[in-house]
């Protein structure tokens, strides 16, 4: 199974969120743009990954949280943006008939993401 680190759309979405988080360091309000990126991710996963959207969302959420936690503590607005983006990802957004989370898969996805991003 491909991880989202190998998915160009999800990688691009992560880069957009990181870019938006960077803009907050200059006082730019990016919340509506972050909301839009998360909505597009949700739509993409429910449309293109109907068998396991939860696993991909959890991996993406965990990746955002990890990146926020590893950012320099002086970058408060950057960290807040990443945490806020992670909080927008709720499993309740996935229709019940599409839920099929396997915790082993989630752990594997997250570990592969961290390796891909150079965090392990």
Residues 6+ apart with CB under 8 A from 15: none
pLDDT value, residue 106: 56
User: Model-level pTM?
Assistant: 0.72
Q: Which residue reads 């570990």 in tokens?
A: 111
Task: Give how many domains the chain has, as a whole number.
Answer: 1
Residues 6+ apart with CB under 8 A from 113: 3, 4, 5, 59, 62, 63
Structural domain span for residue 22:
4-117
* Tens digits of residue pLDDT in 21-77: 999 999 999 999 999 999 999 888 888 876 777 778 888 888 899 999 999 999 999
pLDDT value, residue 98: 46
**Does residue 96 or residue 13 have the better pLDDT?**
13
């Amino acid at each position: 199974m491909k991880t989202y680190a190998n998915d160009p759309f999800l990688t691009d979405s992560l880069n957009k969120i990181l870019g938006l988080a960077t803009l907050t360091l200059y006082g730019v309000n990016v919340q509506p743009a972050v909301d839009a990126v998360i909505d597009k991710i949700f739509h993409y996963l429910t449309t293109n990954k109907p068998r396991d959207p939860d696993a991909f969302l959890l991996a993406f959420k965990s990746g955002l949280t990890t990146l926020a936690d590893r950012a320099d503590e002086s970058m408060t607005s950057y960290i807040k943006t990443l945490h806020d983006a992670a909080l927008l990802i709720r499993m309740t957004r996935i229709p019940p008939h599409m839920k099929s989370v396997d915790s082993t898969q989630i752990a594997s996805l997250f570990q592969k993401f961290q390796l891909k991003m150079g965090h392990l």
